[in-house]
Amino acid sequence: MEKLKIAIQKTGRLSEKSLQLLDECGIKVSNGDRKLKTEARNFPMEVLFLRDDDIPQYVEKGVADIGILGENEVWEKEKEVDEIEKLGFGNCRLSLAIPKDEVYTNLDYFHGKRIATSYPKILKKYFGVKGIDVKIEELGGSVEIATGIGLADGIFDIVSTGSTLIMNGLKEVEAIIKSEAVLIANRNLKGVKQQLLDRFLFRIRAFKRGLGSKYIVMNAPNSSIPKICSILPGMKSPSILPLAEEGWSSIHSVVQEDQFWDVIDALKDVDAQGILVMNIEKMIL
């Protein structure tokens, strides 16, 4: 039987989250013995464990059908692959940083400067558009030490909290672009493979929706129901169930996480009581 081959990072910041995502999608993978590839137990999927730098190439060539990696690597590698879904983890930004005692004015500061990076293509494009001439020093890793050892005047690298920069006596002066983990796919998937990808995507989306939503339940006097209904967004409309106590009801609804506290505040003002909030594991529309 045909299988969908997915490439994920072997070891690194995205490995655990990638396996977790598969698990949330009901796809059970064990890689206790750290093999290069392994088969999922209950979904026609084969998992390849690779360095993230290599994933775009493997997916372009069809060695893997799909892959999970940071957008930063997708942009840098410029391979012929489709970015099909943002995954909501591995969030970071690509930033320019310089030694902390330097006085920074604006982007022109970088004119004629040497910048060390593992993302030369992204950087070259960026300064090309701005019309600023810089000298790019390409490094495979440990970019943050490049200014300290005199290789460069500044760096262009991944930042999430900024603590690595501070530890190396640097300051972030420009955040250029934001990145997160994405699912990429080969451009020529057909037939069974495309169907398997659609099934996998359906599960990913149900999980992502669930993450962004809360299930809430509350009690209220019947007289408050119209007001409560006007506050609750819900999937369709809230469910309203009579309580044993005459004149009272239990109201159930789904609220988006980003509206959550505003909704709770509004509900308290209209006599909602005993509000329960629950995580939603999956949400299928």
- Find, among 96, 92, 91, 120, the residue nearest to 171 by Cα: 96
Candidate segments 23-31, 49-57, 211-219, 260-268, binder of ligand ATP by CB under 6 A: 49-57
Q: Among residue numbers 245 through 274, which ones bind ligand ATP (CB under 6 A)? A: none
φ, ψ dihedrals at 210, nearest 5°: -60, -40
Closest contact distance (angstroms) between CB of 280 and ligand ATP is 26
Using Cβ positions, the residue closest to ligand ATP within the complex turns out to be 70
Q: CB-wise, 73 or 172, nearer to Mg ion?
A: 73
Rounded CA-CA distance 23/274 in Å is 34
What does the block give as tokens for 250?
Answer: 């239990």
How many CB atoms are located within 10 Å of the residue 193 CB?
20
Q: Does 46 bind Mg ion (CB under 5 A)?
A: no
Closer to ligand ATP by CB, 14 or 115: give it. Answer: 14
Residue closer to ligand ATP (CB basis): 64 or 216: 64
- Where in 9-28 is the site for ligand ATP (CB under 6 A)? 9, 12-14
CA–CA distance, 118 with 106 (Å, rounded to integer): 23
Q: Any idea what DSSP says for residue 103? A: P
Instruction: Return the one option of ligand ATP, Mg ion, none that residue 92 interacts with (CB less than 5 to 8 A, by type).
Output: ligand ATP
**Number of shown-chain residues binding ligand ATP (CB under 6 A):** 15
Q: Which one of 13-21, 52-60, 167-175, 265-273 is the stretch in contact with Mg ion (CB under 5 A)?
A: 52-60
Hey, which bits of the chain come out as E strands?
Answer: 4-9, 37-39, 45-50, 66-70, 82-86, 92-99, 114-117, 135-138, 154-159, 170-179, 181-185, 213-221, 239-242, 248-256, 273-279
Q: Which does 222 bind (CB under 5 to 8 A by kind): ligand ATP, Mg ion, none?
A: none
Scanning 21-29, 66-74, 105-113, 249-257 for contacts with ligand ATP by CB under 6 A, the matching segment is 66-74
Judged by CB under 5 A, which of 27, 48, 52, 196 binds Mg ion? 52
The two three-digit tokens of residue 34, written as one number: 């750290």
Contact residues for 61 (Cβ-Cβ < 8 A; gap 6+): none
By beta-carbon proximity to ligand ATP, the closer residue of 54 and 60 is: 54
Residues 55-114 that bind Mg ion (CB under 5 A): none
* Binding residues among 67-106 for ligand ATP as defined by CB under 6 A: 70, 72-73, 90, 92
User: How many other C-beta atoms lie within 10 A of the C-beta of residue 173?
Assistant: 17
What are the residues binding Mg ion (CB under 5 A)?
52-53
